[in-house]
Chains A and B, each alone.
Chain A
Amino acid sequence: DAKTTQPNSMESNEEEPVHLPCNHSTISGTDYIHWYRQLPSQGPEYVIHGLTSNVNNRMASLAIAEDRKSSTLILHRATLRDAAVYYCILRDWDAGNNRKLIWGLGTSLAVNP
């Protein structure tokens, strides 16, 4: 079973903010929270990652709960090109623990014009 739980689908309007939630109640102290997205017919694309503090980059922001049991990927102004499946995964500091890293089915984001 995936260590993260995400809604199957979400919908947003263009140019509005989008908050994509992820629950990871069994996160360990050495797990980093990673977000990737997959556009149709393409490979997954790295979006952002974090450990404890909120993170920002040119693509998105990552808000991490104080207890680290949940996180939210924030797209500040959704565009049609942001329509994709978004995956939240936990990647361990210890490489040996990543052998059985499980990717769930992610959240399919639809963006309405």
Chain B
Amino acid sequence: DAGITQSPRYKITETGRQVTLMCHQTWSHSYMFWYRQDLGHGLRLIYYSAAADITDKGEVPDGYVVSRSKTENFPLTLESATRSQTSVYFCATSRADRGDTEAFFGQGTRLTVV
């Protein structure tokens, strides 16, 4: 039971390059989320998706693009990476985005932009 898998676990890229972080789940949860975690900050929501082909912005969406053509996959793309996007990125899933449901997180991708 893989649950939720993020890849790669670690990535170094250069400023200006496009990079895609992958997230795959095996639970068929409707909701999927992307967060970033930086030192001195809590988790911040980048984008979320309520179902296939439905995505919406979170708190810090600038510089990121998402898609969700299949329920199980929710890739996050940095179209032109900047140093400020160096962070640890977490993907999460949830059966519903309600207070009575819990979220499940992946192991994270540590991205360094040089």
A interface with B by C-beta (< 8 Å): 2, 30-32, 34, 36, 41-46, 49, 51, 87, 90-95, 98-106
Whether A87 lies near B108 (C-beta < 8 A) is no
Other than the given A32-B100, A49-B99, A98-B97, 5 more pairs (CB < 8 A) read A34-B99, A43-B105, A43-B108, A100-B58, A102-B42
Residue-by-residue, is B89-114 near A (CB-CB < 8 Å gives 1, otherwise 0)? 01010001111101111111000000
Chain A residues in 8 Å Cβ range of B57: 99
Partner of B103, one of A46, A95, A104: A46
B27 to chain A, nearest CB (A): 13
Whether B107 lies near A43 (C-beta < 8 A) is yes
Whether A44 lies near B43 (C-beta < 8 A) is yes
In Å, the complex CA distance between A104 and B105 comes to 17
Whether A99 lies near B59 (C-beta < 8 A) is yes
Whether B100 lies near A51 (C-beta < 8 A) is yes
Whether B102 lies near A34 (C-beta < 8 A) is yes
Whether A93 lies near B99 (C-beta < 8 A) is yes
Whether B107 lies near A100 (C-beta < 8 A) is no
Whether B108 lies near A104 (C-beta < 8 A) is no
Whether A30 lies near B106 (C-beta < 8 A) is no
- Known contacts being A99-B45, A103-B42, is A43 close to B106, with CB within 8 Å? yes
Query: Which B40-81 residues sit within 8 Å CB-CB of chain A?
Result: 40-45, 48, 50, 56-59
In Å, the complex CA distance between A2 and B107 comes to 24
Chain B residues in 8 Å Cβ range of A101: 45
Whether B99 lies near A45 (C-beta < 8 A) is no
- Known contacts being A44-B90, A100-B59, is A51 close to B99, with CB within 8 Å? yes
- Known contacts being A43-B107, A46-B104, is A105 close to B99, with CB within 8 Å? no
A63 to chain B, nearest CB (A): 18
Whether A95 lies near B102 (C-beta < 8 A) is no
Chain B residues in 8 Å Cβ range of A42: 107-108
Residue on A nearest B104 in the bound complex, by CB: A46
B51 to chain A, nearest CB (A): 12
Partner of B42, one of A31, A98, A100, A105: A105
